[in-house]
Chains A and B, each alone.
Chain A
Amino acid sequence: MMGVVYAQKDCRLTLSGQITDDHDSSALSSATIFIKETQQSAVADKNGFYSIQQLCAGKYTITFSHVGCSDSSISLNINDNYKQDFKLEHHAELLKEIKVSAEKKSTDASVKNTLNKEALFKLQGKTLGKIAEENMGVNSLNTGSSISKPVIHGLHSNRILVFNNGVRHESQQWGSEHGPEIDPFIADEISVIKGAACVRYGSDAIGGVLLVDPKKLKYDSKLEGEVNAVGVSNGRMGVGSMMLQGGIPKIKGLAWRAQGTYKRGGNLNTPTYYLKNTGIEEYNFSLASAYKFKSTESEIYYSQFNTQLCIFSGSHIGNLSDLQKAFSADKPIDSSGFSYALGRPFQLIIHELFKAKFSWNISSHNSLKTTFARQYNLREEFDKHLGYGASKGAAAMHLEMTTQSLQSVWEYNKSNQLISGGISASSQKNTYEGKMFIPNFLNYNGGAFLLTQWWNKKWVLEAGARWDVRWQEAFYYKNEILQNPGANYHGASANIGVSRKVNNYLSFVMNGSYAWRPPSINELYSNGLHHGAAAIEVGDENLKKERSWNAIASGKYERKKFSLEAEAYYNFINDFIFLSPTPTPVLTIRGAFPAFEYKQCNAILSGINYQIKQELKSITFKSKGSFLHAWNRTINDYIVLMPSNQISASVDYIFKDNKTFTKTKSEFNAKHVFKQNNVPANTDVVAPPEAYTVLSASISTTIHIKHQPVIASFEVDNLLNSRYRDYMNRFRYFSDELGRTFTLRLRVPLIINQKSIKNEND
């Protein structure tokens, strides 16, 4: 079940980018680019853009020249498509000063969107789920404003996989109020692979995969870093993050990086009231080190995520009448002013990841990568009230999960073909203390895959298959008797993909896959009151695996000033596990609660997404939309909790650069979310909220203070301070969404290079 990530090495790579003047960032048109090894050359267009195609993976010496600037050469290891921007210096001696920013592009036959570092900057301070939402076709499932889960094509939680630094993230993913425990500041880029990317990442990636990738470690031993700071008016939140990386001059081939983030916020406010107890404290850090010697590279990585996340106290309800009362109230009964106090209810979470990776380039065609990872996840949830009796004050839910995984991937490549195979194994244990929500369990997983790709100038064909097995055993008490149910699941999954480049502007990707996932632990064994939802949820030990046949097609038309990207998907899921309402409510000492059983049906999730862009001199118009239809074929009804259709439009204005300010851009955005009318009967105590439109505006720039650039942005969310509620936010029962919010973001790159300082002083 464990996923596999690998880099490709092939001969259809493109090196492209923009060449600009390092001082004023003006485009250097007709600059020339020359690759020594292949004797290929290109001339940059009037905007400084260039592109060299049909490159094989390998190491190249690339020379850039332009009238007025001295030639600069750089040695580049290209093993993926690169977008390589170069800044040419007027000083010949500053060869080492060439700043390199690389953006990887997908080369395989999968439907993928990537947020690069620049895009991520504008989202700093937000949760990972909210950041991922920037990708076309991705929504988020929220619990208030601090907990957010990515939703890909209508699927979330156990139906999508999150890979943190190449390791499959393992935590209590089943809960809708459990966000991924990953510090977004670690990421250099965040990508979403849509459709079942099962062969590479795991058979249970039915909805898709979210990849959180840190920057690759650099071996040039130059000490450098970055400071990020975010201030948010709502919640008076501050976030600071710092990264340092370098080498040890005396030890060639050794690289390291240290990174840390601290976040602190208080009570959030909607347009008309504060939300009592919505503060947060979070601190995270990561350490990475790698050592390269000849054809081997070893890497170790450790990260820790810690948070105390307060849950809006008005959302804690005792029974159904409390819920209905909270919903019908214009303003939460439990109100407050601003405070940084962290009170009850809250979640206390620790997530730890340790990773060791060893790569060996056996020959120019063969490589072997082996990764070991250990993850520890602690989740404690504290109720609003201390409870009764001796256990007063203890966590209402206490879960600890430890996961260990080992995987080995072999890769063979030649000029137009790639073959990759891998095996993986993992073990996972989970324990609870206090009241049981989900039982103790043990999981053992094994998997093997084989994947091949073939390509020429116009086509990429991809086919792969994998086989997985899961052995699972649970332990819990029922009616005072120890229960020890076990379950085994195994099966094959497969994927085929085609990518076709019709001409320089038009390309298509089509992907078909068969994937499956075992029922998750809560779907099998949960039996009790889900407090947040005021519902009794009953698991079924006899659930079968869920199987998905997924087809996805994507087309892209891209000209210099105009681009259109659209995708359509059709996901047929057999034995889709869902909560089915039972005809009679369950009577408890707190009153009657609606009850739901986990059942299986045949479901079809289909939809289309688009994004379009048109440039007109300094103005750019953009629009994005997503439309989803989720249908339960077995009972001919809709499926609950699916994102509503939405469209957005924005206008960007790019200002002229000057000596102090470059890359200055203002953006105005309007997003309209339709009302979710496609909901099944009798599953929700309140109707979905109305449609809403929300406006935002921002301005971003790079300020040059002497030779120190500072990247800054200022953003206003919910510009009109509108009151609205969103169907995908569980807090729609209790409160409005956040009011007008101002966010200031700063990024200061630190280049601590004594030599260059000396040169500049000369």
Chain B
Amino acid sequence: MKMIRSKAFWRNTAMIVIAGTLLTTGCKKDKDVVEDPHHHDDDPELITSMVLEFSDTANVQPNVTVAFRDPDGEGGNAATEFDTIALAANTVYSVKITLLDESKNPAVKISDEVKTEGDEHLFCFDVTGANINVARTDSDGKYEIGLDSRWTVAAASNGTVKVTLKHQPGVKNGTCGVGDTDVEVNFITEIK
């Protein structure tokens, strides 16, 4: 009887030891510290800001800079800057688009990456109401990108220009119909 009890004791002990060993060695552990959450600077990069720089190809009209800025990204605080595109009539502008991640310090220039991966990206310009004709002037070697463009502005008018960045890995064919939307900002546009 005593013998059986001691056997049982050892078996129960063995179970506890196995259990303990499994628990301490076998189980997966989370090494992160709860009290120290990941900071914004560790976040995956995102596009928070788009800046359009207009310069008159004839060097007559003043340069114009237009921006959309939402430094904390989608949700959270509202956009801090959303400018109107105000251009002079009968002028041809060359336009350069810069994309930034301003949630980081210092800000990260995402447009450099868009340029490097030009074969996956395409900017699209939808003009409504305003007398503007937009033509992309850069290329990934096969298709246009749109980081650089030429805006031919005609008579005074009001409307909107929707600037869209399409992400088209593997499917880029020069049209705006494919891919996902990474940026879509509809600027109010005034031509005087």
Contact = CB atoms under 8 A, between A and B. Distances in A.
Q: Is chain B found bound to chain A in the same assembly?
A: yes
Interface of A: 251, 254, 289, 291, 293-294, 296, 298, 300, 302, 316-319, 321-322, 333-334, 350, 352, 354, 356, 374, 376, 378, 384-385, 387-391, 394, 396, 400-402, 429-436, 439-442, 475-480, 482, 527-529, 536-538, 586-591, 593
Given A333-B177, A435-B43, A439-B37, A589 B169 contact: no
A400 B37 contact: no
16 contacts: A300-B18, A318-B180, A354-B26, A388-B46, A391-B44, A400-B30, A433-B38, A434-B38, A434-B43, A477-B37, A480-B40, A482-B37, A589-B49, A589-B79, A589-B185, A593-B74
Contacts of A589: 47-50, 68, 70, 74, 79, 183-185
A528 B22 contact: no
Contacts of A529: 74-75
B72 interface: yes
B78 interface: yes
Given A384-B180, A389-B101, A589-B47, A432 B30 contact: no
Contact of A388 (B36, B45, B169, B184): B45
B75 A538 contact: yes
Contacts of A536: 74-75
A431 B37 contact: yes
Interface in B23-45: 23, 26-30, 32-40, 42-45
B66 interface: no
Contacts of A317: 180-181
Chain B contact patch, size range: 35 or more
Nearest to A439: B37
B76 interface: yes
Given A289-B18, A302-B22, A389-B108, 4 more contacts: A374-B23, A394-B44, A536-B75, A587-B70
Contacts of B110: 388-389
Contacts of B186: 591
A254 B44 contact: no
A319 B181 contact: yes
A300 B11 CA distance: 13
B8 interface: yes
Nearest to B113: A388
A291 B182 CA distance: 59
A443 to B, nearest CB: 10
A394 B183 CA distance: 21
B180 A291 contact: no
Interface of B: 8, 11-12, 15-16, 18-19, 22-23, 26-30, 32-40, 42-50, 68, 70, 72-79, 82, 101, 108, 110, 113, 167, 169, 171, 177-178, 180-186
10 tightest CB-CB pairs across the interface, nearest first? A389-B45, A318-B181, A431-B32, A528-B75, A591-B184, A318-B180, A400-B30, A529-B74, A293-B8, A588-B74
A387 B75 contact: no
Contacts of B37: 431-432, 436, 439-440, 475-477, 482
A376 B22 contact: no
Given A318-B182, A477-B40, A376 B29 contact: yes
Contacts of B23: 354, 374
Contacts of B50: 589
Contact of A376 (B16, B28, B42, B49): B28
Contact of A333 (B167, B178, B185): B178
A536 B74 CA distance: 8
A376 B22 CA distance: 13
Given A321-B184, A434-B44, A475-B36, A378 B28 contact: yes
B180 A322 contact: yes
Contacts of B44: 387-389, 391, 394, 396, 434-435
A590 B22 contact: no
Contacts of B49: 589
Given A291-B15, A300-B19, A430-B34, A586 B75 contact: yes
Nearest to B105: A480
Nearest to B186: A591
B169 to A, nearest CB: 7
Contacts of A291: 11-12, 15
A590 B38 CA distance: 25
A251 B167 CA distance: 64
B178 to A, nearest CB: 7
Contact of A590 (B11, B16, B76, B182): B182
Contacts of A318: 167, 180-182, 184
Given A356-B19, A396-B44, A528-B75, A322 B181 contact: yes
A669 B24 CA distance: 50
Contacts of A479: 72, 77
Contact of B169 (A319, A374, A385): A385
Nearest to A429: B34
A429 B31 CA distance: 11
Given A293-B12, A390-B45, A475-B36, A385 B180 contact: yes
A352 B30 CA distance: 12
Contacts of A321: 181, 184
A697 to B, nearest CB: 40
B34 A431 contact: yes
Which of A396, A475, A536 lies at the interface centre, i.e. has the most chain B CB atoms within 10 A of its CB?
A475
Which of B12, B75, B177, B183 lies at the interface centre, i.e. has the most chain A CB atoms within 10 A of its CB?
B75
A394 B74 CA distance: 19
A439 to B, nearest CB: 6
A536 B78 CA distance: 12
Contacts of B11: 251, 254, 291, 293
Contacts of B27: 352, 354, 374, 376
Nearest to A290: B15
Nearest to A529: B74
Contact of A432 (B38, B47, B182): B38
A37 B80 CA distance: 83
A527 B75 contact: yes
A388 B180 contact: no
A221 to B, nearest CB: 14
A394 B42 CA distance: 11
A317 B18 CA distance: 48
Nearest to B48: A589
A587 B75 CA distance: 9
B146 to A, nearest CB: 16
Contacts of A401: 30
A378 B110 CA distance: 30
Contact of A441 (B16, B18, B34, B101): B34
Contacts of A319: 181, 184
B34 A388 contact: no
B171 to A, nearest CB: 8
Contacts of B45: 387-391
B167 to A, nearest CB: 6
A587 B78 contact: yes
A664 to B, nearest CB: 45
Given A302-B22, A391-B45, A429 B30 contact: yes
Given A440-B37, A527-B76, A316 B32 contact: no
